[in-house]
A and B are shown apart, each in its own frame.
Chain A
Amino acid sequence: MIPHLLRILLAQIAQLLSGASVRWVDCQPDTCQRIYFANHTSHLDAVVIWSSLPMAVRALTRPVAAKDYWAAGPIRRYLSQEVFNALLIDRQDIKVHQTPIQEILDAIADRHSLILFPEGGRSSGEEVGEFKSGLYHLARRRPDLELIPVYLDNMNRILPRGEFLPVPLLTRITFGPPMWLEQGEHKQAFLERARAAVVRLRDL
């Protein structure tokens, strides 16, 4: 009950703080299983994307977040696990037999969608960085998932890297058309294509 109310409250606060205008370009909100992948410039990114989804979609969508940040301290742990239902990934301790990819696939099963930041960390915001290979491995193991590129505008000015006080500017979230891993497509080519799909949304 309390996590549910907090979820609604925090989504409202995030929308108000970021003043987000949400655009769906050649794409509609849907409860089917998807991976939303976006550029990453601030700690608020996942919450802002998550809160811009319609409530029914939001309930099924789990952000992927770094364990070293989101499991530190009782408040962050409570928020990430009880409220946002985040999937916490250990960035430091990756084992051969228990890869994060397998953990993620087990966790979403045939029900949940994911919010993912393939740059692997926050960038300064001027350029979208190179994508790490996680998105490719997920797409290869689960070719049925729709991959939705997302571009977040201005978040790097609201809460830049290294700052802890947000400036309440306006942001814009653009969801793009779904894409899939093509048959026989190479890792590098696919990651480049995915990155280009995100960058393209910036100038639309």
Chain B
Amino acid sequence: MDAVAWGLMGGVVALLIIATVVVHLLRRRLPDQLNPALLDSISSRLRAWWLLLAGLAGALMLGKTATVMLFFLISFWTLREFITVAPTRPGDHRALFWVFVLATPAQYLLVAFAQYELFAILIPVYAMLFLHARIALSNDPVQFLERTAKIQIGLMICVYCLSYTPALLTALPLDPKGYSPNTRLLFFFVLITQLNDALQFAWSQLPSRHYLVPNINPTRTWEGLLGGTASVTLLGALLSWATPFGSSWVAAGMALAVALAGFAGGITMSAIKRDRGVKDYGTLVEGHSGVLDRLDSLCFAAPVFFHLTKVYFHYFPYVPS
């Protein structure tokens, strides 16, 4: 981590402290005028951000391997949340075992060793082939396609897509002298996805509400999407000094892409939850959000951001300042 990354992190800590204090004061001073459910939702988000920040800061300080390890643990946890709400049959047991103990660690090992050609195809091709064959071997044809599709999509979102976040550190060589520009890239990416979640949520609270997909998510509005995306794009431009991108236009464009992909992630995971009849992933207890509820946008945006960045630096190589 270099001075810029430290500065950025200090800014985030300051922002979180202010938000936490404000929420605490609102709870104390105006208990009757505010919707308690809204405050609870904000508190739970703040708690998640503190945890994410602490984990990420610690991992980045320890180095690349620790960061890959952190995201491996997150993937493992979100996948178990996902499979817990997805219906599987006893015949899937052995296949699921290999999904957890083989496919997931293998993906992150390949990310750690920067084997881009392999980690880009491991889960979409080889895990997919293995999964289908293994479940066929279990001799239970009932709803075969539904079962394999559910496990495969869980593996794709929770493991494959998310693993592109630590791949920003390992598989995107920018500076032969070290990976500090990559650290900034990763931090910028995580910050933008989380700001995007926060701002879309904030803009959705406007009195004017035009619902986007009320059957899938009753809180997403056009106001939230447009306002959130516009403000995140602006913030991306303002934060361009902290990124390895040369210009604020590029940083703004990246932030816009991340905002749209993050939004897509949010509504896709809402659709899956609606289909399964659950409100949250995670603890199986009503009212407690799981890790996947907080990181759905990150999962979707990670490969988009990785590939856009890779293409950009291919044509406009990074110049150390």
Q: Which of A19, A21, A167, A170 counts the most chain B CB atoms within 10 A?
A: A167
Q: Do the beta carbons of B80 and A19 come within 8 Å of each other?
A: yes
Contacts of B94 in A (CB 8 A): 163, 165
Q: Which residues of B contact A (CB under 8 A)?
A: 76, 80-81, 83-84, 88, 90, 93-94, 96-97, 100, 282-285, 288
Docked CA distance A169–B90 (Å) = 13
Q: Do the beta carbons of B100 and A160 come within 8 Å of each other?
A: no
How would you classify the secondary structure of chain B's contact residues: helix, strand, loop or mixed?
helix
Docked CA distance A170–B96 (Å) = 13
Docked CA distance A114–B76 (Å) = 34
Tally inter-chain residue pairs, CB-CB below 8 A.
42
Docked CA distance A153–B96 (Å) = 18
Whether A157 sits at the interface, judged by CB under 8 Å, is yes
Q: Do the beta carbons of B282 and A157 come within 8 Å of each other?
A: no
Given contacts A160-B90, A163-B93, contact A153 B80 (CB under 8 A): no
Whether A140 sits at the interface, judged by CB under 8 Å, is no
Whether A58 sits at the interface, judged by CB under 8 Å, is no
Docked CA distance A91–B284 (Å) = 35
Docked CA distance A163–B84 (Å) = 18
Q: Do the beta carbons of A170 and B285 come within 8 Å of each other?
A: no
7 additional contacts, CB 8 Å, given A21-B284, A153-B284, A171-B284?
A157-B88, A163-B93, A165-B97, A166-B97, A167-B93, A169-B84, A172-B285
Docked CA distance A90–B233 (Å) = 70
How would you classify the secondary structure of chain A's contact residues: helix, strand, loop or mixed?
loop
Whether A168 sits at the interface, judged by CB under 8 Å, is yes
Given contacts A19-B80, A21-B288, A154-B84, contact A167 B283 (CB under 8 A): no
Contacts of B76 in A (CB 8 A): 168
Whether A122 sits at the interface, judged by CB under 8 Å, is no
Docked CA distance A156–B84 (Å) = 12
Which chain B residue lies CB-closest to A166? B97
Nearest CB of chain A from residue B292's CB, rounded to whole Å: 11
Which A residues from 148 to 162 make CB contacts under 8 A with B?
Answer: 153-154, 156-157, 160
Whether A23 sits at the interface, judged by CB under 8 Å, is yes
Which A residues from 31 to 54 make CB contacts under 8 A with B?
Answer: none
Given contacts A165-B97, A167-B97, contact A21 B285 (CB under 8 A): yes
Docked CA distance A172–B100 (Å) = 20
Q: Do the beta carbons of A168 and B80 come within 8 Å of each other?
A: yes
Which A residues from 169 to 185 make CB contacts under 8 A with B?
Answer: 169-172
Q: Do the beta carbons of A154 and B100 come within 8 Å of each other?
A: no
Contacts of B80 in A (CB 8 A): 19, 168-170
Q: Could you pull out 17 A-B pairs where Cβ atoms are within 8 angstroms?
A: A21-B288, A156-B90, A160-B90, A160-B93, A163-B93, A163-B94, A165-B94, A167-B93, A168-B100, A169-B80, A170-B80, A170-B81, A170-B84, A170-B282, A170-B284, A172-B283, A172-B284
